[in-house]
């Protein structure tokens, strides 16, 4: 039996909408889970014309911000302009109801006659694209509520300020919240919070990235509702909304002339300092290790010894296998001259004596993150092959140096740092996917599962992406078990790529549910020259990590 699609309604002011909204609606309209059945359009009142002088006078305290915003628009060009207008009539052809809202305590409500007309369409979800703050019966009319985006970390006086203060205040992350409206903004049901890295230099680029990236959030949640059903979907929402959330910032308004000058100067002074530093120093990834006689994972990073590469290359992403009383450490080795990663091997004995790296796997495209897995007495590697738009499985045909391509697990996707974990007779593939053009790939973690490692059909988890937060989405090494608890090392890319790590405990993992929680954060604090650390692995008595250090040129 084929499930009936979700019936979606749109609450619009007009059909000309920003391009990110257009692409979101197009995604829904072309999906197998939902269809647009109704447009509720707000009747537009005539707009009073304001003289140029009055316009200028009303903005006199914000002249510098307006000028800076226009300067940035000319400076920053993109192929993915989130705010370019597009006509929804090109893709939406359904029933339309024109309404004239009434004002109720500075909010908007629909009349009883309009509500009666809307109810005849049996809408499952309304998407709020236009209108002011809504109240009244319209919020209860659709079966699953009125869904609405809130962009940005802060409460603001105008939508045009979304993503502005995040740059001026140099926050690491900018948030998008998808919610079900209740009539009071502090009492809405949170469907999801998606977090992206803040652009630390350009306000307009941050705004553009934020809105463009968010276009996929709502369609994915509709798909999840369709796949797992009402009971499981809203059961999860009830659980995640049990905890109180407090807003501890002020309500932000348009930056004054003083605030604009102060913050723009701060932004460009940061850039100048970085340029000066790069004249004398460069960043280099290195490998670090520690041997423990009791075969426990080493946890005090200040005790680790460094493997320092020559200045013409870096070493990163160490993975270990122990055989024949030796440790075999596979790493990414990248020569700055060609900027293309290769997989190299370091051999280490039980006393910590090691060989120089030797290249064991090289292709025409970039390789990194040489994840290792043993299966049916065979050793396999899944290096990162994002540049080839594949997830490739290599088999070791002559240990430890000869590898050949065994199978392409997934293709036609830009995936990084793929990590497999075998649990409950299934193989669980964690990977970061750059799903859409314009979206930063490090922000979203996807999960697939299969009955066998060599499966042709890896099944996408219905909660995908299972995490959308640069603080913990990107894998950072092997998933490991301690005292019957499952731990997933994750990169913390909130400040910058590979800044630190989080240890996450996997609480639930099955074909319909996934849940994890934070256990600990790891930061590069144990030496002054450290910039980042983003891989952790352990085998026997050897623990390895990597770190990005600042070195004199």
Q: What is the pLDDT of residues 42-75, one digit of tens each?
A: 998 766 666 666 666 667 788 898 898 888 888 8
CA distances from 66 to 13, 42, 73, 203, 260 (A): 25, 29, 11, 12, 9
pLDDT at position 364, please?
A: 97
Q: What percent of the chain has pLDDT over 90?
A: 80
Cα(462)–Cα(512) distance, integer angstroms: 6
- 6-39 per-position pLDDT tens digit: 999 999 999 999 999 999 999 999 999 999 999 9
pLDDT of residue 435: 78
Q: Do the Cβ atoms of 462 and 224 come closer than 8 Å?
A: yes
Contacts from 293-299 at CB under 8 Å and sequence distance 24+? 293/541, 294/541, 295/540, 295/541, 296/541, 297/480, 297/538, 297/543, 298/538, 298/543
Higher pLDDT, 317 or 155: 317
What average pLDDT does the segment 244-268 reach? Answer: 90
| b/e per residue 92-105 (b: at least 16 CB within 10 A) | beeeeeebebeeee
pLDDT for 2 beyond 60: no
Residue-level pLDDT at 61: 84
List of long-range contacts for 406-409, beta carbons under 8 Å, 24+ apart: 406/380, 406/454, 407/454, 409/382, 409/455, 409/458
The count of residues in the chain is 553
Determine the angle formed by the axes of helices 203-214 and 63-75, rounding to 10 degrees: 70
pTM metric for this prediction? 0.92
Q: For residue 174, which of 147, 203, 148, 135 has the smallest C-alpha distance? A: 203
Distance CA 29, CA 27 (A): 6
Describe the chain by its helix, strand, coil percentages, rounded to 5.
25, 40, 35
User: Tokens at residue 70, please?
Assistant: 């226009």
Model pLDDT for residues 153-182, shown as the tens digit of each residue: 877 767 778 889 999 999 998 999 999 999
If residue 268 lies in a helix (H) or strand (E), which one and from where to where?
A: helix 257-280
pLDDT value at residue 57: 66
Question: What is d(CA 68, CA 496) in angstroms, rounded to the nearest whole number?
Answer: 26
pLDDT at 249: 85
Instruction: Return mean pLDDT, the chain.
Output: 93
Per-residue model confidence as pLDDT tens digits over 497-516: 999 999 999 999 999 999 99
Lowest-confidence segment of 101-110, 335-344, 403-412, 531-540 by average pLDDT: 101-110
Q: Whose structure tokens read 């750059």?
A: 434
Local confidence band at 1 (pLDDT 50, 70, 90 cut-offs):
very low
Strand segments, DSSP code E, in 324-443 are 326-335, 340-348, 358-361, 368-375, 378-385, 390-398, 402-411, 415-423, 426-433
Within 10 A of 538 (CB to CB), how many other CB atoms are there?
21
pLDDT tens, 73-119? 888 777 788 999 999 999 999 999 999 999 888 899 999 999 999 99
pLDDT at 289 over 70: yes
Q: What is the mean predicted confidence (pLDDT) over 266-277?
A: 93
Predicted pLDDT at 56: 62
Residue 343's pLDDT is: 99
What φ, ψ does residue 456 adopt, rounded to 5°?
-85, -20
Phi and psi (nearest 5°) for 262?
-60, -45
Structure confidence by residue, pLDDT tens digits, 116-136: 999 999 999 999 999 999 999
pLDDT for the residue 46: 62
- Residue 333's closest CA among 389, 406, 408, 383? 383
| Residue-wise burial string across 249-278, b where 16 or more C-beta atoms lie within 10 A, e elsewhere | eeebebbeeebbeebbeeeeeeeeeeeeee
CA 539 to chain centre: 30
| Domains in the chain with CATH codes | 6-44+52-255 (3.40.50.170), 281-552 (2.115.10.20)
Do the beta carbons of residue 216 and residue 205 sit within 8 Å? no
**How far apart, in whole angstroms, are the C-alpha atoms of residue 152 and residue 128?**
17
CA distance 373 to 401: 15
Cα-trace Rg, the chain: 26
Task: Name the band, by pLDDT with cuts 50, 70 and 90, for residue 216.
Answer: very high
């Amino acid at each position: 039996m084929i499930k009936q699609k979700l019936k979606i309604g749109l609450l619009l002011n007009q059909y000309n909408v920003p391009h990110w909204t257009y692409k979101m609606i197009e995604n829904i309209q072309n999906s197998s889970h939902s269809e647009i059945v109704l447009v509720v359009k707000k009747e537009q009142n005539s707009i009073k014309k304001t003289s140029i002088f009055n316009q200028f006078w009303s903005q006199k305290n914000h002249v510098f911000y307006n000028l800076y915003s226009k300067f940035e628009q000319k400076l920053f060009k993109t192929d993915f302009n989130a705010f370019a207008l597009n006509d929804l009539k090109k893709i939406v052809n359904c029933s339309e109801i024109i309404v004239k809202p009434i004002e109720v305590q500075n909010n908007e409500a629909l009349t009883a006659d309009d509500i009666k007309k809307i109810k005849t369409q049996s809408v499952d979800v309304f998407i709020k694209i236009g209108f002011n703050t809504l109240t009244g019966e319209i919020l209860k009319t659709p079966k699953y509520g009125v869904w609405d985006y809130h962009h940005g970390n802060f409460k603001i006086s105008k939508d045009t300020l979304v993503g502005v203060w995040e740059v001026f205040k140099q926050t690491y992350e900018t948030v998008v919240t998808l919610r079900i409206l209740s009539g009071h903004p502090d009492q809405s049901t949170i469907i999801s919070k998606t977090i992206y890295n803040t652009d630390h230099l350009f306000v307009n680029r941050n705004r553009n990235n934020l809105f463009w990236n968010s276009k996929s959030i709502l369609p994915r949640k509709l798909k999840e509702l369709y796949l797992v059903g009402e009971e499981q979907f809203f059961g999860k929402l009830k659980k995640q909304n049990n905890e109180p959330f407090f807003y501890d910032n002020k309500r932000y308004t348009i930056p004054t002339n003083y605030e604009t000058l102060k913050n723009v100067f701060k932004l460009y002074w940061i850039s100048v300092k970085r340029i000066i530093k790069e004249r004398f120093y460069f960043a280099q990834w290195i490998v670090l290790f520690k041997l423990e006689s009791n075969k426990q994972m080493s946890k005090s990073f200040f005790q680790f010894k460094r493997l320092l590469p020559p200045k013409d290359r870096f070493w990163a992403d160490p993975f270990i296998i122990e055989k024949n009383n030796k440790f075999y450490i596979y790493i990414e080795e990248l020569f700055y001259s060609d900027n293309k990663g290769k997989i190299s091997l370091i051999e280490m004995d039980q006393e910590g004596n090691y060989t120089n790296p030797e290249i064991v796997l090289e292709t025409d495209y970039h390789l990194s993150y040489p994840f290792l897995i043993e299966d049916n007495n065979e050793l396999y590697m899944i290096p990162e092959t994002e540049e080839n738009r594949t997830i490739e499985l290599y088999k070791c045909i002559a240990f430890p140096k000869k590898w050949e391509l065994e199978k392409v697990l997934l293709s036609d996707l830009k995936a990084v740092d793929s990590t497999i974990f075998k649990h409950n007779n299934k193989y669980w593939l964690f990977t970061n996917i750059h799903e859409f053009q314009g979206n930063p790939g490090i922000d979203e973690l996807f999960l697939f599962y299969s009955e066998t490692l060599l499966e042709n059909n890896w099944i996408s988890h219905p909660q995908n992406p299972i995490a959308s937060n640069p603080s913990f989405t990107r894998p950072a090494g092997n998933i490991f078990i301690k005292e019957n608890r499952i731990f997933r090392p994750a990169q913390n890319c909130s400040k910058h790529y590979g800044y630190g790590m989080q240890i996450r405990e996997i609480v639930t993992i099955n074909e319909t549910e996934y849940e994890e929680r934070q256990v600990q954060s790891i930061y590069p604090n144990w030496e002054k020259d450290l910039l980042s650390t983003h891989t952790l692995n352990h085998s026997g008595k050897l623990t390895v990590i990597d770190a990005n250090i600042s070195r004199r040129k």
